[in-house]
Structure 1
Amino acid sequence: MLSDARLDELLLQDAPHGDLTTEALGIGGLRGRIAFAARADMVVCCSEEAARMLERCGATVGAVTASGTALAAGEVFLTAEGPAAALHHAWKVAQTLVEYASGIATRTRRIVAAARAVAPGIAVACTRKNFPGTKDVAVRAVRAGGARMHRLGLSETLLVFPEHRAFLDPADGDWLRALKAREPERKVVVEVADAHDALDLLRAGADVLQLEKLAPDAVAAVVALTRDRVPPPVVAAAGGIDEGNAAAYAATGCAVLVTSAPFFARPSDVKVTLTAA
């Protein structure tokens, strides 16, 4: 869950000097109720954060549905009561946060469901290609949708791209062995764009082969060629994977689907009803 400090920051962005309209109307002290509901089927995310925003503004939350819950159209997932000033202050920021986060969670769930209908044990992992400044929300939404993060950032994983290898001798695998010696506790992931390159890097000691934009039949061929190795490498399919082709990639036998698609999901539509008590 996002911290109170982060939620306060979001609230402050929307009302740095208070809510002028509510104050000018003189209705801030009147009691009211607020309810949030799904306009269409969705996987809700950041409902707890929305509830906490309402509490931080002075409202009392009545009920809240947990992030990761699949909702049907019309289903209410959050209610609260309190002064009109509190409800209006939190209203739009809370609604928008839930809409964007739930959009990511809903698309994530669709991709996971499509993949696991074919390969129940496959992992779906999302990249770090979220909109800058929103990683905490993006990670929360990915997890609510049933996937995991492929990388949280540059600081904790070894993922060698072709853009790294451009500075290395392509005919010399010593760089990979040296890298593993320097970081013995970490697996080395190498992104490759063809099966021949994948096998060369496997022989050099790569732990994970990330196949970038290979067609499903090419991914299946790499899986077949590497299956008998001891230990077998982890084969991850990446690039352009979404709910439309996740099943085809899952059928290849690879262990992981790597995707950025959830971050470009359309926000979910949340209906907010605000009434006098």
Structure 2
Amino acid sequence: MSRTECGSSDMWSPEKIAALLAEDVPYGDLTTDLLGIGSAPARMVFRLRQAGVVAGVEAAAQLIRAAGGAAELQSATGARVEAGTVLLRAEGPAGALHRGWKVSQTLVEYLSGIATATAALVEAARAVSPHIAVVTTRKTFPGVKAAMIEAIKAGGALPHRLGLSETVLVFPEHRAFLPDTLAALARLKREAPEKRVVVEVDTLEGVEAILPAAPDILQCEKMAPEGIAEVVALVRAAGIAVKVAAAGGVNAGNAAAYAAAGADILVTSAPYWAKPADVKVVLEPA
């Protein structure tokens, strides 16, 4: 999927769009109704105040249409734009545009903030290691996972784990229940040969204990870049085809250092807590 196609998924169903509108306008727009301006012709323009990566504009357009207006996209999810770039234009009755205005603006701000932060992290890492994988955790805010995943994909990352049902990741909290960890890992590889077995470790001693099981990926939790370099050296010395993932505390400020340390994968939650983008909306008589 190309970045410009990121926002074209079916995740924004009419039911979800209606639910978002209902949160903000459950029983009509009291102010607009009392002022008696709802039928006046109006137009609305969304612009990004700073350079960034766009996300959520397709959903914003759907929200405006569901509210009774007409919307035309000027930028697509995944687009890298300069400050002042027009994201979408809308027109229709003032009442319709007022209903769709704030929820659509806020959605674009939050998701574009995530996309922009993701892009910064990806670019920092790939400036050092062009083929390094950047993936995001399942620490999405409950209920909006699909939207947040769309945003990180727009920024050039991919999801690390979408949920517990589709990946095998053995935490220390799992191993605490295992009498023989190496035997259990061998069994996992036999019983789920189509899955990669990922094991989380947080010390060099833990790496040395797990390496004989030859997991597909060692996920190194909260290790400094220097620690990752030592893990990479251990893996290479063992001659085992094991990928090294750096996880826990990875952000745009240290991504280059982790890439330089030899990590194959960066696992991060940082983009999910990005500052929202600043979207300027002008709503005026047509």
> What TM-score comes out, normalization by structure 1 length?
0.95
1:212 paired to 2:221: yes
| 8 Å contact from structure 1 (residues 208, 236) kept in 2 | yes
Q: 1:73 aligns with which of 55, 68, 83?
A: 83
Unaligned runs of 5+ in 1: none
For 2:128, the aligned partner's letter is V
Partner of 1:89: 99
For 1:273, the aligned partner's letter is V
Give the distance between the partners of 1:34 and 1:22, measured in 2 at CA: 16
For 1:31, the aligned partner's letter is P
Partner of 2:285: 276
1:184: Cα distance to partner?
2.1
- Pairing 1:92-241 to 2, within 5 Å after superposition: 92-169=102-179, 172-227=181-236, 232-241=241-250
Give the distance between the partners of 2:248 and 2:72, measured in 1 at CA: 43
1:196: Cα distance to partner?
2.5
Matched position secondary structure for 1:100: helix
Partner of 2:54: 44
Paired residue total: 276
| 8 Å contact from structure 1 (residues 241, 259) kept in 2 | yes
Partner of 2:275: 266
Matched position secondary structure for 2:280: strand
For 2:198, the aligned partner's letter is V
| 8 Å contact from structure 1 (residues 51, 64) kept in 2 | no
| 8 Å contact from structure 1 (residues 48, 64) kept in 2 | no
1:230: Cα distance to partner?
6.0
Give the distance between the partners of 2:64 and 2:95, measured in 1 at CA: 10
| 8 Å contact from structure 1 (residues 35, 78) kept in 2 | yes
- Pairing 1:13-52 to 2, within 5 Å after superposition: 13-52=23-62
| 8 Å contact from structure 2 (residues 175, 181) kept in 1 | no
Q: Percent identity?
A: 53
Give the distance between the partners of 2:239 and 2:92, measured in 1 at CA: 63
For 2:229, the aligned partner's letter is A
What value does the CA root-mean-square deviation take over the aligned residues? 1.4
Give the distance between the partners of 2:263 and 2:199, measured in 1 at CA: 15
Unaligned runs of 5+ in 2: 1-8
Larger mean CA deviation between 95-104 and 189-198 belongs to 189-198
